Structures are given as structure tokens and as C-alpha cells.
Amino acid sequence: MTDRYSRQELFAPIGKEGQKKIAAKHVLIIGAGALGTGNAEAFVRAGIGKITIIDRDYVEWSNLQRQQLYSEEDAKERLPKAIAAKQRLERINSNVVIEAIVGDATARELQLIMEENKPHLIIDATDNFETRMVINDISQKYRIPWIYGACVGSYGISYVILPGKTPCLNCLLETVPLGGLTCDTAGIISPAVQMVVAYQVTEALKILVEDWKSLRNKLVSFDLWKNQHTAIRVDKVKKVTCPSCGEKPTYPYLSYDLQTKTAVLCGRDSVQIRPAVRQDRDLGELAELLAKQGIQVEKNPYLLSFTADGHRLVVFKDGRVLVHGTKDMIEAKTLYNRYLG
């Protein structure tokens, strides 16, 4: 028990002092997919004090190839990823406080987390740029570093954003990339995930032990299949006029919540509908109501699912609904109104 972290403490840049710092830190991980599970396991094994992990989805069979915390049981039970991750992480290291949130990482939700229990660092493990731009503004507003990471196919990319120091994601992108970029239609191999996780966790450890001078400071990308590796210094891209990190920030992505009530989930052939006002749903009552209509319902403590008109609908306790088998928001809304409205 006492030498649990001995190998990490023997690593000179961390040492016993660094280990104490790690144990006193709190990291917020946004997304519990491939990058999220990889990051979370690494932090928990490294002896972090606390992690908060937020995710809106549930475990499916197609996740098991690369999302390292999940098992066949989780997929069979359709457990929410945040819950399945927490259960596994607690078995790996019972000393770490693990907070799981089943829900959307909206501006409102993230601001709540910041006000209640401000983390020391945010890890990006999302699969879309909309959420990343929200993370970017949250990071600037609350002066917390965040680490961008993304991958598709055998390609990956990562960058550390330090408020007041480096350019932010808004400076780097200038515009929010549309559809094609975010949908993982090209598939993904697990080593690409692991490589991005390695870049994120290493920079995170430097931040957690406050070894700021060792940070990489470069935008890094690689393609493991094509045997390529690139790193670019991007300091010059920082803009004083940037609405997120410039001299007069307006944090534009923190006021966009209402626009994203209905969202097509990338690469999932699914639409998510989120009620305008957050209201928990009584899943037991809903199950009875649907059963009366002759609909067969499957249920666990966190969500309920059923098939109607050829589509599978999944209802979460926080009121969100996933309509599978369509990218058409109107069709999804019609089904929502017919069975759940």
C-alpha cells in the first residue's frame, strides 16, 4: 500500500514532493469515450486527488474496441459511460474521489461545476468542436488550463492551452469546423487514442506538479500509419482581438446553450433532444405508460429504452432523449412528441 506510487516518485521530475501535489489536485475530464477513459485511468492510477467525469452517452458494443474502462456487461446493460467509468475506476484505486455526471457538458453545466468545485485542470475528451469551444471559454473565464486532444483513423493532435499565456482554441481555429471534421466516419485504431492520451497525460502531470518550464509548448500531431510526426510553435497565432482570450473577452460560447437543444450526434446516426428546461423524468412512470401502449421497454436505474416506428429511443433520467437510426432532426422530434412529448 505505502509503495503504491514508488515508481512514479523515483522519477526525478515528480519525486515525493510532486506526488503530494498530484494527490491534492482535481481534474475535470469532459467526455468518457476513448480519450476520456484513457485519461481517467492514467490519473486514477497516478494517485490524483479527485476526478470529475462527465458524459452524455451510454456504453455500446462498438465502444469496447478502444474505450478501455468498459466491459461486455456494461454494453449489455447499456450503462451510462460516466457510471460505468466510475465503477471501474473505483476498483482500480479506492483512494481517489470520483464524481460522475451523466449529462451534457453545456456551458451551464460546466459553469455550475466551476462555481461549486473549481478543478485545477480540464481535459478535453469530447468528440465535437461545439463542446470544445465551450470548454475554451470556460478555461479563459475561470483561468484554468485545458488540454485539447483529438484523433481519427491513425491520426491524432494535442495542444495545451494556458489562459494568459498561449493562444486559445478560438485563436487557432478562427471558425468552428463543420460536420465532416468531427464525424468519425474514417474509423479509429486504439494506438492513435493511446498516443493522444500519452501526450495529454504527460503535459497534465507537468501541470499538476507545477513544472511549468517543462511543458511542450507546441501544437503536436502524428499519423501512426503514415509514420509522420509534426510539432509547430503557434505562440504567434494569439490574437489580442480574440473574443475568448483577447483584451476584451465576451466568451461567446457561454451563451449558446439554448441553440443546441437538438443535436445530431457525430458518427452515431442519432439525434439528441434536450428539453429546454432541465427536468428529471420519472422513468418508472414512463415505463408503465409505454407498456400500456403495448411497447416493450428495457430499463436500468439511469435510462430506459424502447423501439417504436423502427427507431430505438433512449430516455435518460435528466430528460434527454436519443433517437437512433436517423440524422433528421424533424423526424426525431416527431418521434419524441409522439411517444414522450
Partner 1 sequence: MEIIINGDKILLPESVKTVSDLLSHFQLNNKIAIVEVNLNIINKQDYEITTLSNGDKVEIVHFVGGG
Residues at the interface with partner 1 (CB under 8 A): 31, 33-36, 124-129, 132, 149-152, 155-157, 172-175, 177, 180-184, 188, 196, 219-221, 228-232, 234, 236-237, 266-267
Find the helix or strand (DSSP H, E) in which 54 lies: strand 50-55
Q: How far apart are CA 89 and CA 97, in angstroms?
A: 10
- What does DSSP assign to residue 143? T
Residue with Cβ nearer partner 1 (132 or 281): 132
Q: Which does 171 bind (CB under 5 to 8 A by kind): partner 1, Zn ion, none?
A: Zn ion
Question: Measured from the CB atom, is 185 or 337 closer to partner 1?
Answer: 185
Integer-rounded Cα Rg, in Å, for the chain is 20
Minimum separation from the CB atom of position 245 to Zn ion (A): 3
Q: Which of 171, 188, 205, 321 binds Zn ion (CB under 5 A)?
A: 171
Strand order across the 26-30 sheet: 97-102, 50-55, 26-30, 121-124, 146-152, 155-161, 219-223, 228-232
Which of 101/245 has CB closer to Zn ion?
245
Residue 243, C-alpha cell as written in the block? 473574443
192 vs 313, which CB is nearer to partner 1? 192
SS3 call for 90: helix
Contact 264, 327 (CB under 8 A): yes
Task: Give SS3 for 323.
Answer: strand
Residue 125 near Zn ion by CB under 5 A: no
What would the grid cell of residue 253 be? 460560447
- Choosing from 168, 171, 183, 242, the catalytic residue is 183
Binding mask 237-276 for Zn ion (x = CB under 5 A): -----x-xx-------------------------------
With CB under 5 A as the contact rule, the residue among 106, 170, 194, 272 that binds Zn ion is: 170
- Examine the residue annotation and report whether 171 is marked as an active-site residue of this protein: no
Contact 270, 323 (CB under 8 A): yes
Residues that are catalytic: 183
Q: Which residues bind Zn ion (CB under 5 A)?
A: 168, 170-171, 242, 244-245
